[in-house]
Amino acid sequence: MEVPPWWASVFAVVLATVVFLRAVFGRWRRPCRTLPGPKPWPIIGNFNLLGALPHRSLDALSKRYGPLMRVQFGSFPVVVASSVDMAKFFLKTHDSVFIDRPKMAAGRYTTYNYSNIAWSPYGAYWRQARKICADELFSARRLESSECVRREEAHALLRYLRGAAGQVVPLKERLSTMSLNMIARMVLGRKAVDKEVVASGGGSVTTWREFRWMLDELFLLNGVLNIGDWIPWLSWLDLQGYVRRMKRVGKMFNQFMENVVEEHNERRRREGDAFVAKDMVDRLLQLADDPNLEVKLTRDSVKAFTQDLVAGGTESAAVIVEWAISELLKNPEVFTKATEELDGVIGRGRWVTEKDIAHLPYIDAIVKETMRLHMVVPLLSPRLSREDTSVGGYDIPAGTRVLVNAWTISRDPSLWDSPEEFRPERFVGSKIDVKGQDFELLPFGSGRRMCPGYSLGLKVIQGTLANLLHGFAWRLPDGMTKEELSMEEVFGLSTPRKFPLLVVVEPKLPDHVYNV
C-alpha cells in the first residue's frame, strides 16, 4: 500500500521531536559528577572546619576526600588542589583558564583598588605589569647591576652581629632591616633605615617601628579568610574587623608611598633634561609618562608596584632565613656539614659572593629544604576560572575559585621520604628546583602568576644564609635547649614563626674579615 506523502512529513517531525526530547531529558538525567568534599552548613559552608592554620586544615580534609576536592566557603564553592598532577593542571596545563583573581577586600583596600601585580585581574593592565617586571625591574642586567647594593647591606648585618657577639639578638628584626635596606636602595634609591626614621614629608614621619608593624599587618591581612569576601551580604558588618584594619594600613602605606613618589618627582623637576633614572621608582615614573604604553600607568599604579617591591622583597627573605637558622639550631649536624662545605670552597679569609652559590650545593640544598618545610605562601594566592572546564570527569564552571595547597604537596609521603624531617641531603644531586617547573616544590608558585621577583628573592636568601653560617657560630639563649625551641607558625599571606627567634652568635673568622 502506498504511504501518503503527508505521512512521511509527519513521521519526520515526530522522529525529530523524539530525538530532541531524548537529548534534552537525557542531559537532565545524566548524573552530575560533584567533586568530593565535606557537606557544607547553611550560610557558613565549611568555615567551621578551618582552624587557625587553614593550610593544615585543608591538608587534613584532602587526606579524607582526595587531592581534588570541593569545599564551600560561605556563598562560594572552592576547588582545592593538593597533588602534583592537580597543581600542574591548574598552574600549567590550563594556566590561561585559571589565571584570573577573585576580587577580595585586601586587594581593594591595601593595593590601590587591585592596582598591584598580585591582585590585579587578568587583562591588558596585568599583562603590561608582568612585562614591566620581566623587562625593567627584575631583568638579569638590573639584578647584576645591583649586586653591590645587596653585598653592602649584607656586610652591614654581619658587622652588626659581630658587635653584638654574646648578646641575645632578635634575628628576624635584624634580617628585616637588612632586607628592607637592600630593597629600598634598589627601588627607592636610598636606605630605608638609617636611624629610626623610614620616611618623612608633608608634615608626617614614618618610624622604623611603625613600618615594621605595617609590613606585618599587610602580610597578615592579605592572607586572612575575611568573612565578607565569602558571604558578600554580610560584608557591611565587617564581623572580624579585618576591613577596618585593611583601610588603616592602606592609608598608612599610601602616606609613605606619596612621600616616596613626591621625593622622586621633585628630583626630576629639579634636574630637568639632565635627569637620569637611578632606581626602580624613577623608571616607573618614566614609564607612567610613556604615551606608547597599552594601558597608562597612573600615580596609584606606581605606588602599588613600589609597595609590592618593598613589602614582598623585605618579608619573604627574612622569613625564610629565620626558618633556616631555626632548623639548623634543631639539627646541629646539618650546621656542621654546611660549615665544612663553606670552609672547603670559600676558605676562612673572605665572605661568600653571589657567584659562589653555584659551587655550594649543600647550602642550596638547605635553602630548598627550608622552603619545602616552611612554605612562605602555603596556600598559593587564589585563582579564578575564566571559562568552563573539566578534570577527571568533574565539571568546573567559570567563576570557580581555586586554591593550590603547596604545603600539602611539599609534605606528600609519596614524593618525599620522611617528609616531616629536615633533610637537606634529599636535594643534593637532585634536579628539583624552585623556579616553578617542578610541581613537587612551589615556594614561588608557577605559571604566569608566579612571583615575578623570585630570582631576586633567591639571591638574597642564598647569599644571606651562606654568610651567616660562614661567619658565626650559633646557639640558643642560655637555659634554652633545642627541644624547647618552638616551631609554631602564624598564617597570613606569609607564614612566619609564631615566636620570633632569639639567638646568640660568636664570630669564627679572622677579625679583618668583619671590617669590610
- CATH code of the domain covering residue 302: 1.10.630.10
Say what the pLDDT of residue 18 is: 38
Say what the pLDDT of residue 175 is: 94
More confident residue, 507 or 185: 507
Nearest to 221 by CA among 405, 493, 500: 493
Say what the pLDDT of residue 376 is: 87
Kindly tell me if the per-residue pLDDT of 201 is higher than 60.
no
Of the listed ranges 6-15, 192-201, 347-356, 500-509, the one predicted with least confidence = 6-15
Residue 95 placed within a domain:
yes
Kindly tell me if the per-residue pLDDT of 350 is higher than 50.
yes
Q: Where are the beta strands (DSSP E) in 125-215?
A: 168-170, 197-201, 204-207
Burial class (CB in 10 A: 0-12, 13-18, 19+), 130: middle
Residue 196 placed within a domain:
yes
Residue 136 confidence class, pLDDT cut points 50, 70, 90: confident
Domain range for residue 402? 54-515
Kindly tell me if the per-residue pLDDT of 247 is higher than 70.
yes
Kindly tell me if the per-residue pLDDT of 228 is higher than 70.
yes
Residue 454 placed within a domain:
yes
Question: In degrees, to the nearest 5, what angle opens at C-alpha 440 toward C-alphas 435 and 451?
Answer: 35
Say what the pLDDT of residue 200 is: 53
More confident residue, 141 or 506: 506
Say what the pLDDT of residue 26 is: 42
More confident residue, 403 or 185: 403
> Once rounded to an integer, what is the mean pLDDT over residues 382-405?
93
Kindly tell me if the per-residue pLDDT of 218 is higher than 70.
yes
Kindly tell me if the per-residue pLDDT of 444 is higher than 50.
yes
Say what the pLDDT of residue 19 is: 40
Grid coordinates standing for 25? 531529558
Residue 430 confidence class, pLDDT cut points 50, 70, 90: very high
Kindly tell me if the per-residue pLDDT of 27 is higher than 50.
no
Looking at this protein, which amino acid is placed at residue 433? D
Residue 237 placed within a domain:
yes
Say what the pLDDT of residue 203 is: 46
> How many domains does the chain contain in total?
1
Question: In degrees, to the nearest 5, what angle opens at C-alpha 160 toward C-alphas 370 and 281?
Answer: 75
Residue 448 placed within a domain:
yes
Contacts 24+ apart (CB under 8 A), 143-146: 143/455, 143/456, 143/459, 146/185, 146/186
Q: Is 133 labelled a binding residue?
A: no
Residue 41 placed within a domain:
no
Say what the pLDDT of residue 279 is: 87
Percentage of residues of the chain with pLDDT beyond 70: 91
Say what the pLDDT of residue 212 is: 82
Residue 165 placed within a domain:
yes
Buried b / exposed e along 105-119 (16+ C-beta atoms within 10 A): bbbbbbbbebbbbbb
> Once rounded to an integer, what is the mean pLDDT over residues 209-227?
88
Residue 235 confidence class, pLDDT cut points 50, 70, 90: very high
According to DSSP, the residues that pair with 77 across neighbouring strands are: 72
Residue 11 placed within a domain:
no
